[in-house]
Structure 1
Amino acid sequence: MTNWMPDPALLRRPAYFSLAEQFARAIESGVLPTGARLMPHRKLADGLGLSVQTVSRAYEELIRRGLIVGEIGRGSFVLGLGAEARQPYLPERPGQVVDLSILKPVVEDMHLLRIREGFAWLAENMAASSALSFRPNMVMPYHRQVAVNWLAGQGIETNPVNISITNGATPAITAALMSVAPMGAGIAVEALTHHSIMPLCSYLGLHLEGVAIDAEGMRPDALDAVARHGAIRSIYLQPNVINPLAAQMGQDRRNELVEVARRYDLMIIENDILNVMIADRPPAFATLAPERVLHICGFTKITLPGLRLAYLTAPARLATTVANRHLVSNWMATPPMVDLLSHWITDGTVAQLAAWQRTALGQRHAVASQVFGKAMPPCHPHSLHLWLPLTNNWAEDGFVAKARQQGVAIASGGSFRATEKGRYEAVRISLGSAGEEELRRGLEIVATILADEPEVLMTPI
């Protein structure tokens, strides 16, 4: 990561544009060379005495100009003058890199066959309204009832009118955030959280408050300390294994967090996208505090990547608000895909695929345990990833770069930090995004690097 720092004395209003101009001049002069990794938003903001939102807007301006690119899980990098802007994620390059950076379920030929069979079923059975109607209320009533039945099997009691069906977890998170906090309000998140929450809150004008965590997730005492100042309106949680630590939050911890939320009248957004795939999960927050929980039940990570759908369940008093926010941001989920999801739920396919995924991930964890041995980090046995603390004085950027040089892509821990407090160096490694042999090879490379000391560049005398 570059140590270059803009000069705060040269900042003028609007600050984001002035900041972007300093970066642009540094890139033009070669001070920031092509490929240089820029400071994370929060670190730069703290160093300059600016808000994270201001830094985010400056980086967005640089992305718009084609001078930098943001890669999910890795950071922001200089493209150089005249470079064409790229998509903000690592492209798929089979045979060139073992990509353990993106979180995906395990897939095999069977999954492609299943979805082809699903599309064949759609060709014969798709409802006319799914193809011909623009109105969600003409398309979704049946599917909302299917959702009610599915959620009831997980102990979540609700009504069809309280459910919005979305094109995956990201639109659900967006609609939920828009529903629980006005612009300028605060959202409490775990110190290690979903990588898209930071930029999303910035785009929505929300203040993010990183709360201290332990092995189970957010600490109730730390949340109480933040809430006592009245700066937050809602809490965003990932209690079921999908969090960066790949940890399961216990029943007692959930009860304690609910108690704090009720004490300060805070809403809770519960990202539960692994739901039925985690067989030993405690009752959802939506079961413990239905009056204040917006629950997100996903399907992409437990079935296959193409089934990009989720259920967003809201308390009755917020159901209309959530529906309206979803309408203006996404209108409605893709109707034919919702037809397929309801069919797969009712005929048992979703449950079967989730069970298959659970078994496949168990096998992937066995491979990781063989490779890492005593260095295997603690995690749930059916998590999609590992959170690997770095040893031997490794820094995240150097470790990620070293792995990339040897043909393995992994995600830097910095992409998941909502606060620098309690920071330690770590990387996230996906277990589902590569074939099993490719995964073993990638993990062996990572384990070898981990056991090695970072080499200091020698300077000629």
Structure 2
Amino acid sequence: MVSSLFIRWATLLQQQTERPAYLRIADFIAEGITTGELPSRYRLPPLRDLAETLSLNYTTVTRGYAEARRRGLIDSRPGLGSFIRTKASSASVTPMSNYEMTMNAPVEPAGSVIEEALRIGALNLFSNTDIQGLLRYQDFGGSADDKAAAMLWMNKKLTLTDESEVLVCAGIHNALVGIMTLLKRKKGAVCVSNLIYPGMKAIASHLEIKLKAVLCDEYGPDPAAFEALCRAGEISTLYINPTLHNPTTLTIPAFRRRELAEVCSRYNISIIEDDAYAALTEDKIPAFAELVPSLTWYITGMSKCFGPGLRIAFLKGPDKQAIARLSGVLRALTIMSSPLTNALARQWINDGTADRMLNEIKSEAKIRQKLASIYLSGYEYQADSNGYHIWLLLPKMINSNSSDVAAKLREKGISAVSGIAFCTDNKPVEALRLCLGGSQTRQQCEDRLKILSEMLADPIFFSSMAI
């Protein structure tokens, strides 16, 4: 996996860009940390080895590592090499954020009512359930009761009647790994937007699956550009995050979904519909799974609309045969999803606690989006009142890039994700994704938004950066 990562860096460096190679090396390291391809304490290649792999001179790679150290990404020790920093080691030099805005976690509703409902639901479950039974091996994909609860949750967006086409999985990321592993057998790349969920980039890199970026406009992937790729035989699959897109917050309108679905139907292109944020919206826009059900893998779950610790995903496949094939892949990867987690999710869905939690999250998200609109009113950004992340475009007069800005913000206690972490076409957007959720209070969120606004308005903040 790692060797293929550095080979990919070499390929990207060969493409034309105005950005100096040493800065791009630091960008690649930052991206690798975000996607998980470069874990804490990972030892980077020696300078000369990386220079040879990237076809660069020794001095350029040295400058790249120096830039990564300046951003607080790596540590270098004479005789030992350069290592990805742990959070603890980073904290010793660069203060870590006490308001984490990098992970796109939902807001946690305050108050005792929801907390008590969660506790009562869990107590009821364990008081009336065969606990020993939950500790045994289960049939893969969830029990009949698990699937019934999954269908109840998925029916917020789809109309499902056949549980044999549904699987309960150990989280959306787990489901994506399984689907990508299965579809790897098909010839051709996976078509993606120019900006996508970093975890998907990490999965593709790990499985050595090529991602092919398609031209996008304000409504999502351009149908004509997408059809040109299909006609050329370059792709086999379309990966789409149609609702509250991560990172841009776009929800693809119905007309564009129909256009893309028609192209997929004409060229027999499989669709991976990652609808992680679907439950947050009230939109009645048809899902790809409704437009072209025979080609679509539809995935949703509860981590983005309940809590990330509830690692559970609900998946509908194109047909029973496809589900059976995926079951084999996922069984090899994870044996089964946790029966305890499945049971908790089932309990909270059936007793109404999940809906109550969802409504509280949506209500709080709207308040925090309103706060963001006040403090960031002078800046260009994209947001949706139903979501809890924003896509902040850096002012064009700022002579710096998003990686530098993110690094500088970390020094001031504010975390953000640079646009390069989401980029798939080697044309990074100078923007930051910020999450307004997490476990912090509304007041903490407002305090950090105020600091962010003041820093962005301060010319000294940007003039102090190394360009």
Q: 1:342-396: CA deviations, max 9, x gaps?
A: 1221222212211111111000011101111132523211112000000122311
Are residue 253 (structure 1) and residue 261 (structure 2) matched? no
Q: Secondary structure at the match of 1:447?
A: helix
Deviation at 1:163?
1.5
Of 449-458 and 310-319, deviating more is 449-458
Q: Secondary structure at the match of 1:99?
A: coil
TM-score norm. by structure 1 comes to 0.80
Cα distance in structure 2, aligned partners of 1:346 and 1:159: 19
Q: Secondary structure at the match of 2:429?
A: coil
The corresponding residue for 2:237 is 234
Cα distance in structure 1, aligned partners of 2:268 and 2:4: 35
Code of the residue aligned with 1:177 in structure 2: it is: M
Q: Which of these residues, 108, 124, 127, is aligned with residue 127 of structure 2?
A: 124
Are residue 297 (structure 1) and residue 275 (structure 2) matched? no
Q: Which of these residues, 7, 26, 31, is aligned with residue 38 of structure 1?
A: 26
Code of the residue aligned with 2:99 in structure 1: it is: V
Code of the residue aligned with 1:404 in structure 2: it is: R
Q: 1:25-83: CA deviations, max 9, x gaps?
A: xxxxxxx99x997242799xxxxxxxx9xxx99x75996437799xxxxx993232357
Pair 1:64–1:40, CA change in 2 (3 A):
closer
Cα distance in structure 2, aligned partners of 1:275 and 1:405: 34
Of 156-165 and 404-413, deviating more is 156-165
The corresponding residue for 1:100 is 101
Deviation at 1:341?
1.1
Pair 1:67–1:258, CA change in 2 (3 A):
same
The corresponding residue for 1:444 is 450
Pair 1:158–1:220, CA change in 2 (3 A):
farther
Pair 1:268–1:375, CA change in 2 (3 A):
same
Code of the residue aligned with 2:338 in structure 1: it is: T
Paired residue total: 416
Code of the residue aligned with 2:416 in structure 1: it is: I
Cα distance in structure 2, aligned partners of 1:409 and 1:243: 17
Cα distance in structure 1, aligned partners of 2:124 and 2:169: 22
The corresponding residue for 2:74 is 78
Code of the residue aligned with 1:223 in structure 2: it is: F
The corresponding residue for 2:269 is 266
Structure 1 vs Structure 2 CA RMSD: 3.7
Q: Secondary structure at the match of 1:223?
A: helix
Cα contact 1:67–1:85 (8 A) shared by 2: no
Of 150-159 and 190-199, deviating more is 150-159
Cα contact 2:100–2:415 (8 A) shared by 1: yes
Code of the residue aligned with 2:331 in structure 1: it is: L
Code of the residue aligned with 1:283 in structure 2: it is: P
Cα contact 2:187–2:235 (8 A) shared by 1: no
The corresponding residue for 1:8 is none
Of 103-112 and 363-372, deviating more is 103-112
Cα distance in structure 1, aligned partners of 2:426 and 2:304: 29
Deviation at 1:19?
11
Q: Secondary structure at the match of 1:409?
A: coil
Cα contact 1:100–1:410 (8 A) shared by 2: yes
Pair 1:302–1:89, CA change in 2 (3 A):
farther
Q: Secondary structure at the match of 1:225?
A: helix
Of 85-94 and 203-212, deviating more is 85-94
Pair 1:179–1:431, CA change in 2 (3 A):
same
Cα distance in structure 1, aligned partners of 2:4 and 2:368: 47
Deviation at 1:281?
4.5
- Superposition pairs of residues 130-145 of structure 1, within 5 angstroms: 130-136=133-139, 140-145=143-148
Structure 1, unpaired ranges of 5+:
1-13, 21-31, 44-51, 70-74
Cα distance in structure 1, aligned partners of 2:148 and 2:259: 32
Are residue 340 (structure 1) and residue 314 (structure 2) matched? no
Q: Secondary structure at the match of 1:178?
A: helix
Deviation at 1:458?
9.2
Q: Which of these residues, 408, 413, 426, is aligned with residue 407 of structure 1?
A: 413
Cα distance in structure 2, aligned partners of 1:89 and 1:212: 40
Cα contact 1:300–1:306 (8 A) shared by 2: yes
Cα distance in structure 1, aligned partners of 2:45 and 2:102: 23
The corresponding residue for 1:5 is none
Q: 1:320-347: CA deviations, max 9, x gaps?
A: 1111111111121110111111122122
The corresponding residue for 1:362 is 366
TM-score norm. by structure 2 comes to 0.79
The corresponding residue for 2:353 is 349
The corresponding residue for 1:431 is 436
Cα contact 2:188–2:233 (8 A) shared by 1: no
Deviation at 1:425?
0.5
Cα contact 1:242–1:384 (8 A) shared by 2: no
Q: Which of these residues, 391, 399, 403, is aligned with residue 397 of structure 1?
A: 403
